[in-house]
Amino acid sequence: MKLHILGCHSATPRSAAFPSSQVLEIGNELLLIDAGEGMQIQLRKYKHKFNKIKHIFISHLHGDHFYGLVGFLSTLRLIGREKEIHIYAPVGLKEIITLQFKITQTDINYPLYFHELSAIESTQILSTDKFTISTIPLTHRIYTNGYLVREQPALRKLNIEVVRQYPEIETWAFHNLKRGKDFIREDGSLIPNHLLTLPPPPPKSYAYCSDTQYKPDIVPLIKGVDLLYHEATFLESEKDLAIKTRHSTARQAAQIAREAGVKQLVLGHFSSRYPDESLFTKEAQDIFSPVAIAQEGKSFEI
């Protein structure tokens, strides 16, 4: 699992600062999370293949989180996309996209499915053989969700040196062993699975918490995740503005990370009023470590 930052700044795009958008790489699949303006330019710049994107997740319907989406969907048509696309987003996005395509007489030549969200409690919205995704209800000026991605538990690994000590264990039995089953010998005796296999690495997890006011009740949902991306639009010196606009400060993001016991915190969604983004790191490190700053083109191994 690997996180790639396409954009991590708030409100408006600038020459070297793009609004929110990122790609989460899981195996051979790319999940697109938010789609701020310029998103597909960033995909091309950092060489992420459009065809590997099947699922798109939009946190909320403020423009800096989805204005790049209609252009991306149009490009997929132009490059001959045939595979389906699934979009998970608040109620209203389907109407917006459909109207844009209707007025511009744009015909989509691939299956496009909208999964509109309105629940106010955490809900699992996708489950595959590789991962699950659930919503993280956030509090912003409009209906907003973060997203929690968890890998499915991996199969156990064969302890091949031990397995070879038992000639009767042939390759046909390997699959069952990896799935945790014991091996039953011809005489009816049993070889416990834990003697023949090794435990898999623990499943990785990632939590994306975009625009939200300080919201400690999300802590149980994101407890112990490997990587937390949390918005930090402001510093504590502008805490009153954060409260007014329902955003968070770097210190508040760090408090969430500490209370949830996450392994690493990444801060993003910075206001353009701050010329030195290292100030966000300094503020957060007083509360939690390790903490990193999101930057366009930066990647994080999870």
187 and 213 together in one domain: no
**The domain boundary residue, chosen from 139, 167, 198:** 198
**The domain boundary residue, chosen from 171, 198, 225:** 198
65 and 168 together in one domain: no
Q: List the catalytic residue out of 64, 129, 187, 211.
A: 64
Burial class from Cβ neighbours inside 10 Å (0-12, 13-18, 19+) for residue 283 reads buried
79 and 90 together in one domain: yes
Q: Assign 3-class secondary structure to the chain.
A: CEEEEEECECCCCECCECECEEEEEECCEEEEEEECCCHHHHHHHCCCCHHHEEEEECCCCCHHHCCCHHHHHHHHHHCCCCCCEEEEEECCHHHHHHHHHHHCCCCCCCCEEEEEECCCCCCEEEECCCEEEEEEEEECCCEEEEEEEEECCCCCEECHHHHCCCCCCCHHHHHHHHCCCCEECCCCCEECHHHHEECCCCCCEEEEECCCCCCHHHHHHHCCCCEEEEECCECHHHHHHHHHHCCCEHHHHHHHHHHHCCCCEEEECECCCCCCCHHHHHHHHCCCCCEEECCCCCEEEC
24 and 99 together in one domain: yes
Q: Are 258 and 292 in contact (CB under 8 A)?
A: no
53 and 145 together in one domain: yes
217 and 246 together in one domain: yes
Q: What is the pLDDT of residue 27?
A: 87
Examine the residue annotation and report whether 64 is marked as an active-site residue of this protein: yes
Q: What is the pLDDT of residue 12?
A: 87
How far are the Cα atoms of 138, 219, 256 from residue 216, in angstroms, in the given order? 10, 6, 6
Total domains, the chain: 2
Q: What is the pLDDT of residue 277?
A: 93
191 and 177 together in one domain: yes
10 and 96 together in one domain: yes
193 and 205 together in one domain: no
55 and 166 together in one domain: no
170 and 31 together in one domain: no
Q: What is the pLDDT of residue 146?
A: 98
**The domain boundary residue, chosen from 168, 198, 228:** 198
CATH code (residue 7): 3.60.15.10
39 and 173 together in one domain: no
Range of the domain at 39: 2-154+201-301
Mean pLDDT by 10 residues, the chain (302 residues): 97 91 96 97 97 97 97 95 97 97 94 98 97 98 98 94 92 93 92 94 96 98 98 98 98 98 98 94 97 98 96
Q: What is the pLDDT of residue 16?
A: 85
